[in-house]
Chain A
Amino acid sequence: MTQVAIGQLIDFAYIVAAVLFILSLKWLSSPATARHGVIAGEIGAALAVTATLFNPALVQYKWIAVALIVGAAIGIPLGLVRMTAVPQRTALSHAFGALSATMIGIAEYYVHAPHVTKFSMVEIALEVIIGSLTFTGSVIAAGKLQEILPQRPITYRGQNIVSLSVLGSAIVLAIVLTIHPEYMHLFPVMVGIALLFGVLLVTPIGGADMPTVISLLNSYAGLSAALLGFVLNSKVLVVAGALDGSSGFILSVIMCKAMNRSFTNVMFGAFGQVQAGAKAVAEERTVRSANAEEAAAILSATSKVAIVPGYGMAVAQAQHKVRELYEILTKKGIDVRFGIHPVAGRMPGHMNVLLAEADIPYDRLFDMDDMNSDLPQVDVALIIGANDVTNPAARSDQSSPIYGMPIIDVDKAQTVMVIKRGMSPGFAGIDNPLYYEDKTLMLFGDAKAFVGEIVRELADSHRG
């Protein structure tokens, strides 16, 4: 076969791959067809990779083979991590994706330099800057999620000015390189500065903002792949990058809305700082508490229970005990629903995966809006490891830092039970007036142990 004919066949394989990628996302829309989506994506990817290996331009296969083996050796363990570790795995995969796009962009520059057209130079510079900052930003995000790095926002005076001037100098270098592509020594400097900017961008952002940050980095990783498609004139990269970029963008918007915050506020206004004033207002108030036996007695007399889990449930590894609670209550004929706030967990949809892993059927998981329309008919709302997403101050107290954030209206239920270690405020450090209401019972203790005790009490009363 002639080289032209092979080239056309490869292009045809890429078109089929792009179509399969679109179908893959289409099938992901519902849990019933979602696994077909994975298969479509796998076939598309396998087809594109195989076709590429037949490219007549390839002269050496040794390093390709080594790299594919190393890639599989890294990828397989990363595909087998525990579900609680999925957020950091995702951040790490954004880092790998951005690393790959950046390396290719850099190589593309050195293949052609100094004979790069002004237009290509703009594309390459943009691609490499976005790729580099996404790489280091994602590494920092993964480090925070893995708790290697401190989760609290790390801030210093004037950091926004410092960060923006670092980004500005990378852009200035990109402009200089566009005018003078022969200044090859400036290229690595520009890459280095962009890498530094990624670190400065994510370091100040706290753990509670991770769902937004991880979505935004997702969007950047997609954008860098799409830009690489522009640089290499590869349509399949443009399509895959555009799909990934729009997905990350939509998720970022959803996350921002769920926290009632703007992009700029997440990126440039570290969350942890506003709380000092809010905490000082909290006065001494009394709370009502109950033990597991009392909680079990109340629960068994209900007909409708809403469970609102938060990241604390995952930290306490309580999801399997929660499943036992769900099963024993369901057996008693009680309607049990789970209300999931969009930012519960450390990434979009994280809580749903954790509950699905614990074998809770997905048709029992309700999103915030559906849960809220149900809550006035709910007898007991049981909050496990969630705090700020249930804080009624978000609705009523204009001075609260979370004022305006959409919450799950657990205070509309007849009775509220909160499993909590102590009275310390939540992740954002904001006091929760819900705990002082008359209808609220505080269940003090470790989430896993306490739910376990409730299950035991319910099982005993069932038998007796």
Chain B
Amino acid sequence: MPADFISNLFVFILAGFVGFELIKRVSPLLHTPLMSLTNALDAIVVVAAIIIAGLHETTLTTILGTIAVAASFSNMVGGFLITDRMLRMFKSGKAKKS
């Protein structure tokens, strides 16, 4: 088994555990913004897509990379935008009166 796999698995398990502990604490009130935010974070695959689109290995990989950059970057932009829009709507009763 390659050494990289072991270190990746290590990171995966620890990050999964951190995710589990953090997300358990998110109020059910915010489950929709949670999903759109994790979606935007997940769009970090754009960094891998950029490499593929910019390597110029073959025409096929450039096309695949370009589609991947567009798809993930749209998630990144749209995900953060809609999460912020939703969170701005959540106002507490006290904040509203003041």
Which residues of A approach B to under 8 Å, CB–CB? 14, 17-18, 21-22, 24-26, 28-32, 34-35, 37-38, 41-42, 44-45, 48-49, 51-53, 55, 57-61, 63-64, 66-68, 70-81, 83, 86, 89-90, 93-94, 96-97, 99-101, 103-104, 106-108, 110-111, 117, 119, 123, 214-215, 218, 221-222, 225-226, 228-230, 232-248, 250-251, 254, 340, 342, 347-350, 352-353, 356-357, 359, 361-365, 367
Contact = CB atoms under 8 A, between A and B. Distances in A.
B97 to A, nearest CB: 9
Contacts of B92: 31-32, 361-363
B5 A119 contact: yes
B73 A72 contact: yes
A63 B81 contact: no
B89 A247 contact: no
14 contacts: A32-B92, A38-B84, A63-B65, A64-B50, A67-B67, A71-B46, A75-B77, A107-B52, A107-B61, A117-B2, A215-B35, A221-B42, A240-B44, A244-B39
B78 A64 contact: no
A94 B11 CA distance: 23
A238 to B, nearest CB: 5
Contacts of A364: 93
- Among B32, B43, B66, B91, the one with the most A-chain Cβ atoms within 10 Å of its Cβ is B32
Given A78-B78, A107-B65, A342-B28, A222 B47 contact: no
Nearest to B46: A49
A361 B77 CA distance: 28
A99 B47 contact: no
Contacts of A214: 35
A356 B90 CA distance: 5
Given A38-B80, A38-B83, A233-B4, A71 B18 contact: no
A110 B31 CA distance: 39
Nearest to A52: B47
Contact of B54 (A28, A37, A63, A340): A63
Contact of A225 (B24, B42, B56, B74): B42
A322 to B, nearest CB: 15
Interface string B45-60: 1111111111111101
B72 A96 contact: yes
A63 B41 contact: no
A71 B42 contact: no
Interface of B: 1-2, 4-5, 8-9, 11-12, 15-16, 18-20, 22-58, 60-62, 64-96
Contacts of A250: 20, 23-24
A103 B12 CA distance: 22
A45 B61 CA distance: 24
B8 A247 contact: no
B74 A71 contact: yes
Contacts of B61: 107, 110-111
B81 A76 contact: yes
Q: Considering the complex of A and B, which 7 residue pairs feature the smallest CB-CB distances, nearest first? A: A79-B81, A71-B73, A349-B31, A75-B77, A67-B69, A246-B19, A58-B54
Contacts of B20: 246, 250
B96 A348 contact: no
Given A97-B43, A242-B19, 8 more contacts: A22-B15, A24-B37, A34-B87, A41-B41, A42-B80, A75-B81, A100-B43, A100-B45
Contacts of A237: 44-45, 47-48
Contact of B16 (A73, A246, A363): A246
A111 B55 CA distance: 10
Contact of B68 (A59, A100, A218, A248): A100
A99 B68 contact: yes
B23 A247 contact: yes
A101 B45 contact: yes
Nearest to A215: B35
Contact of A104 (B19, B58, B68, B79): B68
A59 B90 contact: no
Nearest to A39: B84
Given A228-B48, A238-B12, A90 B39 contact: yes
Nearest to B60: A110
A242 B9 CA distance: 10
A165 B40 CA distance: 34
B42 A241 contact: yes
Contact of B28 (A18, A243, A367): A367
B91 A362 contact: yes
A86 B34 CA distance: 12
Contact of A239 (B15, B22, B50, B57): B15
Contact of A244 (B9, B38, B66): B38
B54 A57 contact: yes
B74 to A, nearest CB: 4
